[in-house]
Amino acid sequence: MSLIPSWFGGRRSNVFDAFSLDLWDPFKDFPLPSSSLFASNFPQTFRENTAFVNTRIDWKETPEAHVFKADLPGLKKEEVKVEIEDDRVIQISGERNVEKEDKNETWHRVERSSGKFMRRFGLPENARMDQVKASMENGVLTVTVPKVEEKKPEVKAIEISG
């Protein structure tokens, strides 16, 4: 019995086997990394070159510093680089290697990203680029860029005569 007619390109499915159900993906034949339903249909070279296009980085500014947080699950600190370019640009980059395929294994779904990523952020003049610190804990990279302390204007009371 088929849940999806064969003219949609899906293979015949068994209603009683939840893992054999095929969902029709209209973007199946397009080389888009967002088409995760049939990611295993993409050639191995495409999956190896798929970048972390969805590497999300938060940037917040506190009174003391600019703080960047990046979710990089599964990466070790040795696989991530934090660099400063042109005295005002911070660059966060890295690479996650694709798992080696064993001929005895059958992949049913490949959704985790692999490949290289790079994000760059231009910082304002108040950033102290010589004191940047980075740490990684539980797959979250935190980069802290202290800010130059603002000099508060000195207020001097003037006595009014007369």
| 18-67 tens-digit pLDDT | 444 444 555 555 555 544 444 445 444 444 444 445 678 999 999 999 99
- Give the type of residue at 85: E
Q: Are 100 and 69 in contact (CB under 8 A)?
A: no
SS3 for 131? helix
In degrees, to the nearest 5, what angle opens at C-alpha 105 toward C-alphas 12 and 43? 70
Site of tokens 């990523």:
117
Q: Three-class SS of residue 125?
A: coil
The answer, as to whether pTM is greater than 0.85, is no
**What was the pLDDT predicted at 106?**
85
Q: Which of 48-52, 81-85, 105-109, 125-129 has the lowest mean pLDDT?
A: 48-52
What does the pLDDT average to over 116-142?
A: 93
Between 113 and 38, residue with greater pLDDT = 113
Category of 86 on φ-ψ map: left (φ > 0), alpha (ψ -120 to 50) or beta? left
DSSP three-state, residue 130:
helix
Residue 28's pLDDT is what? 55
